[in-house]
Amino acid sequence: MTDALIWLVAMPLAAALATLLLPRHASVVVIITGVVTTLAGGILLFAVGTQGALSYEIGGWTAGLGIALRADGLSALLLLMTALVMLAASIYASAYFSKAVERARFWPLWLLLWTSLNALLLSGDLFNLYVTLELLGLSAVVLASLGGKTAAVAAALRYLLVGLLGSMLFLAGVSLIYAGYGTLDIAALAHLIEPGPVTWTALALMTAGLLLKTALFPLHFWLPPAHASAPAPVSAVLSALVVKVAFYLVLRLWLDVFAAVVTGAAANLLGVLGAGAVLWGSWRALRAERLKLLAAYSTVAQLGYLFLFFPLLQALPSGPARDAAVGGLVILALTHGFAKAGLFMAIGVIQQRCGHDSIRDLDGTAQRLPATTFAIALAGVALIGLPPSGAFLGKWQLLAGSFATGQWLWILVTVAGSLLAAAYIFRVLGHAFGHQAYPQRPVTVAREEWPALVLTAMAMVGLGLAGAPVWRLLEGGL
């Protein structure tokens, strides 16, 4: 079963080299990679569900000196989501980039991004996390710059500088941890960690670096231009996965490694910043004039909800209520991943078919591209948090936790954010319907429209109606 751990990293890495050497067969290589990593992710999830956390030491070198790959319920869930979103986005990208030259430049970087996402989710020590964060940042920046226009290059450069600053702060924290504890192994640190100035400074530095990378309000300034000017398949993955794995690391540090030293005040600070993100991000999404900018600001808001869980988890005593809240947090993150990736791809279809993504001029899009408009509506339901989406289950747990701990502020923020989300989604749909006749077939361009439909349906039905295993997988962890 540990073979799955190796395949998840080795397959996209080997494929990156293969697409560089054989650009003509790149599409086949990428689709095979998608299928193999999805299978490996599924097998890993099953194995973690039946046997508990898995680990593997590369080359037989023990942790501390060698590189250990580890997977528990949380990382296995995110790995499977990564595989599914990347597979769908790869199919979409093969249609999005119409020129062979563009595709030849795109695939190796795309697969390196994929490798670093998987490697980050499987890393068992802090230094490998730093290395994978850097690999992820570098490949993401180059992909974001492929938009070509001056705005895309400027946004990518800013993205790079912010990412570098974030990783350097993270590395500074890592070096303090090594000075204090003599190990970087996450599992070992979780037992050793104790309160003190070194630990607090290290946690503050690492968290500051990661908050920059996960674009938590008010450190979100770089995200909207970078995500809105990148090519659509890249935007989808940046918003759905790249910021999400930085959030995964915050979660891992705060709830797992440093759980013993996190204070209520620190968790409240994250909650307040999250509340700011929900309100500001949703408001800016409502005021956005372009669809891609709307989707990017909506990412800022949706990440805010995830941070609202921190003060709740800090206040709830360990037990069923806390486990339920952790499950709600994870399912909200997963739903956003699927829904946002689908939304960006659907927007990409509109942008390429209509030549623009201005919300005001969408008139008749629902008639010209019914399947794509439907995908936007499905993604919208998941972003608002209506049933039966997975986000409904997540927000339900958010509200239940707020009631149980008497933290009323988060309830108001959640309600306001959901109303604003409803407003910005209905604004788009309102502009999309025109008076033209519907076409004979709802799906007009299959390879471009199906990936978005499947992903948004996953967010809706897959996670909403079949979300119970998420809670079971997280039992005992975090």
Partner 1 sequence: MLTAQLLYGLTGCLIVALGLRTVLLHASLLHRVVAINVLGAGVFMILVAIAYRGPGVPPDPIPHALVLTGIVVAVSATALALALARRLTAEQSND
Q: Which is nearer to partner 1, 167 or 299 (CB)?
A: 167
In the chain, what's the furthest Cα-to-Cα distance? 69
End-to-end CA distance of the chain: 23
Those residues whose C-beta lies under 8 Å from the C-beta of residue 446, and which sit 6 or more positions away, are none
Residue 127 near partner 1 by CB under 8 A: yes
**DSSP letter assigned to residue 26:** H
CA atoms within 13 A on the CB side of 45: 20
Residue 72 near partner 1 by CB under 8 A: no
Residue 199 near partner 1 by CB under 8 A: no
- Minimum Å distance from CB 142 to partner 1? 7
**DSSP letter assigned to residue 438:** P
- Minimum Å distance from CB 130 to partner 1? 8
Window 18-57: contact mask with partner 1 (x via CB under 8 A): ----------------------------------------
- Minimum Å distance from CB 171 to partner 1? 5
Q: Which is nearer to partner 1, 170 or 424 (CB)?
A: 170
Residue 219 near partner 1 by CB under 8 A: no
Residue 283 near partner 1 by CB under 8 A: no
Which of 10, 43, 172, 443 binds partner 1 (CB under 8 A)? It is 172
Which of 131, 188, 354, 400 binds partner 1 (CB under 8 A)? It is 131
> How many residues belong to the site for partner 1 (CB under 8 A)?
31
Stretch that binds partner 1, among 127-135, 215-223, 272-280, 301-309 (CB under 8 A): 127-135
Q: Residue 236: which H helix or E strand, with range?
A: helix 232-237
Q: Which is nearer to partner 1, 131 or 454 (CB)?
A: 131
Paired with 290 in beta bridges are 358
Residue 134 near partner 1 by CB under 8 A: yes
- Minimum Å distance from CB 235 to partner 1? 18
**DSSP letter assigned to residue 355:** S
Which has the closest alpha carbon to 156: 141, 140, 143, 146?
A: 141
**Contact criterion met (CB below 8 Å) for 209 and 169:** yes
Q: Which is nearer to partner 1, 145 or 389 (CB)?
A: 145
Which of 32, 153, 272, 400 binds partner 1 (CB under 8 A)? It is 153
Structure tokens at 320: 């069923």
Structure tokens at 287: 């005021």
The count of residues in the chain is 478
Contacts 24+ apart (CB under 8 A), 367-370: 367/433, 367/434, 367/436, 367/437, 367/438, 367/439, 368/436, 368/439, 368/444, 369/444, 369/449, 370/438, 370/439, 370/442
Window 343-372: contact mask with partner 1 (x via CB under 8 A): ------------------------------
Q: For residue 229, which amino acid is it?
A: S
Q: Using CB under 8 A, list all residues that contact partner 1.
A: 64-65, 127, 130-131, 134, 137-138, 141-142, 145, 149-150, 153-154, 156-157, 160-161, 164-165, 167-168, 171-172, 174-176, 178-179, 184
